Amino acid sequence: PDKVWLSKPWQALPRARSFAVQAAALMALLAIPFFSVHYWRESPYIPIVPGIFQSYRQITDGEIVPVKMKNLAELKERLTQRVDGQFAPMAYDFSSMNIHLVGGLLQEIANRKVLVAVYQGNGLTIICYTFIGSDGDAPEIAEMFFDAGKGMNFHQFFHTHTNAVMHLEGNINCILMSQMPMPDLLELARAK
């Protein structure tokens, strides 16, 4: 009783009201982290690239298996239906390199729908991730290359042994990922 830890205004409040105010302040302080985490998880601004690198690893390790598809027309039709026609996958034809479409799937990464097309051949796997986004989806470490002929920015970046090239067409982003050398991957992205 001799040691007072409350300030004089708090002591002046009647005991029940003081308790109610203290309880409300404590609840507000406890709610701040909860709502911060909830906002962060529901925010559309969660960086998407780390989730795409994780998806690439899961697909190449066989943890996630794409739905088999025979050709690019089937890929576009089936995946576009999966997002109710909001956008279509950016499909590539790598057949001249003896790399062919294996399949595709829809994933939700960083609270966004992402269309995934998987190509394999000659010991390589190339995966194309298509989603609604902007140039701001490129990570800060990305090196930007401007293709004057196409009037388009290409962002190149990597993680461990996986290279990635991102480009934007309208409001649709495409990230190509592979373990092939970065100059070759950039050339593939630019050739579309």
Give, for all 192 residues of the chain, the pLDDT tens digit.
Answer: 555 565 666 555 566 566 777 777 777 778 777 655 554 445 455 799 999 999 999 999 999 999 999 899 999 999 999 999 999 999 899 988 999 999 999 999 999 999 999 999 999 999 999 999 999 999 999 999 999 988 899 999 999 899 999 999 999 999 999 999 999 999 999 887
* CA dist., res. 119 & res. 6, Å (int): 67
* CA dist., res. 8 & res. 12, Å (int): 6
Q: Would you state the structure tokens that stand for residue 106, as one six-digit string?
A: 């829809």
pTM score, two decimals? Answer: 0.76
